[in-house]
Amino acid sequence: MFLKPEPTIKDLKGLLESANFTLDQLLNMYYQMNLIREFEEAIGAKYYEGKNPFNMASGPIRGEMHLSSGQEAVAVGVGGNLRKEDVVVSTHRPHHHAIAKGTDIRKLAAEIFGKSTGLCGGKGGHMHLFDKEVRFSCSGIVGASFPQAAGAAFAFKYRGEDNVAVAFAGEGAANHGTFYETLNAASLWELPLIVVIEDNMYADSTPKSVALATPHHFQRAMSLNVPSFLVDGMDVIDVYLATRKAVQRARSGGGPSLIEAVTYRFRGHFEGDGQEYRERDEVELWRVMDPITRLGNRLTKLGVEKERLENERRKARERVEDALKFAEESPYPEPSTALVGVFK
C-alpha cells in the first residue's frame, strides 16, 4: 500500500500557497468527484434492475459494466490540468475519465442505456465511448490506450501544436507489450504523451504481487528515460500537482511522463463479480481512505462550512438524476440505422 500521511492544516495551507492553489479549485474538484461517484452509483443501481437472477443480457442496461467508485481522485486530478483540445484515451472502465474531461453526462448516460441520444447513437455502449467535442475516447481492449494516445501525441508534435495526449490504463495493462513499445517510441521521439497507470492492485482478479517482478510501474518507465511520478491516488491534490508538472513538460516540448497513481476500486472488477480474490476487511480498510471524504475533511479544516459541502453533493446528485431521466426517456435507435457508421 502506498498512501501519503494526511498533512497537518499548517502543512496543507503551505502546500496550497506554494502551489498557487485556490479554495475555489478545491471546491470544484470536490464537486467533480461527487458528480462521478453519484453517476457511478446510480448507474450501478440501474444496472441490476431486471437482473434477478443475474443475467447481463437483461434489464435497462445490458452487457458488462465496469465502475470506478474509489478512483475519482485520479480522473479529477489529471483532468483538472487539461484543455478541451487535449486528447484523453481511456479503458474499459471509462466513465470517471469521460466526466473529468468534460463529456456531457446526459449523452454519456444515454449511450450506456443504448439510446439514440447517446454519444455514439447508442451503438457503442459503456466500453466504446467517443466524444469528438472534448476529444475523449476509450477501448474495451486492454492496453490499447497507449498507442492510440501516442498517435494523437505524434500528430500534435507534427503539427506544431502544444496540446497533450493522455493514456489511462490499469496496472494489468502495463504488462502488455504496447506499454513498452509506446513508451520507447514516445521517449525516442519526445512526444507530448502522459501515461497514467491507475494501480488498483488487481488485474481483473489477479493481484499485482503475483504478476509483476517490480513493485512499481514507474521503475520500468524510467528505464526508458521517461520521467515518472508515484502518487497517492486517493489524494486529488497529489495527483493534480504531479500531473501539472507532467503537462508543463509535455507542452514545452520536454517529452513524455508517466504517473503511477496507487488507488482502489470499491466495487468488483465488473458488476456481478463475486470478489472471492480479496478480503472484505481489505475493502473496508481502503474505504477509510475514500478520496471524497479526505478532500471534504480538508475543506472543513480550511474553513468551508459543512452546509456548503452538502450543497455541492446535492447539486451533483440532481444533475445525475436529470441525466438518467433523459437517458431512460430517450428512444432506442431505429433498426434502419443499424448499418449507419459501419465500415464496409
Q: Domain residue spans in the chain?
A: 7-12+20-48+60-329
Q: Which of 11-25, 59-73, 74-88, 131-145 has the lowest mean pLDDT?
A: 11-25
Cα angle: 63, vertex 134, 322; to 5 degrees: 60
Q: What is the pLDDT of residue 93?
A: 97
Q: What is the pLDDT of residue 81?
A: 97
Q: What is the pLDDT of residue 341?
A: 82
Reduced to 3 states, what is the DSSP secondary structure of residue 226? coil
- Burial zone of 315 (CB within 10 Å; 0-12 exposed, 13-18 middle, 19+ buried): middle
Over residues 62-72, mean pLDDT: 97
Q: How far apart are CA 54 and CA 65, in angstroms?
A: 13
Q: Is the pLDDT of residue 147 over 90?
A: yes
Return the C-alpha torsion angle 5, 168, 32, 14, nearest 10. 30
- pLDDT category of residue 6 using cuts at 50, 70 and 90: confident
145: which strand partners? none
Over residues 130-134, mean pLDDT: 97
Kindly state the cell numbers that stand for 170: 490499469
Return the C-alpha torsion angle 151, 153, 156, 157, nearest 10. -100
Instruction: Please check whether residue 73 is in contact with residue 34, taking contact to mean a CB–CB distance below 8 angstroms.
Output: no
pLDDT per position as a tens digit, 204-248: 999 988 988 888 899 999 999 999 999 999 999 999 999 999 999
Q: Which of 10-24, 92-106, 133-147, 311-325 has the lowest mean pLDDT?
A: 10-24
Q: Is the pLDDT of residue 41 over 90?
A: yes
Instruction: Please check whether residue 72 is in contact with residue 35, taking contact to mean a CB–CB distance below 8 angstroms.
Output: no
- pLDDT category of residue 1 using cuts at 50, 70 and 90: low
Kindly state the cell numbers that stand for 82: 487539461
Instruction: Please check whether residue 29 is in contact with residue 96, taking contact to mean a CB–CB distance below 8 angstroms.
Output: no
Sequential DSSP letters for 180-206: HHHHHHHHHHT--EEEEEEE-SEETTE
R_g of the chain computed on alpha carbons: 20
- The gap from C-alpha 142 to its chain's centroid, in whole angstroms, comes to 15
Q: Is the pLDDT of residue 344 over 90?
A: no
- Burial zone of 130 (CB within 10 Å; 0-12 exposed, 13-18 middle, 19+ buried): middle
Q: What is the pLDDT of residue 214?
A: 87
Q: How far apart are CA 125 and CA 48, in angstroms?
A: 16
Sequential DSSP letters for 129-181: -EEGGGTEEE-SSTT-HHHHHHHHHHHHHHHT----EEEEEETTGGGSHHHHH
What is the reported pTM?
0.96
Name the average pLDDT for the chain.
95
- CATH-assigned architecture of domain 7-12+20-48+60-329: 3-Layer(aba) Sandwich (3.40)
Q: What is the pLDDT of residue 2?
A: 65
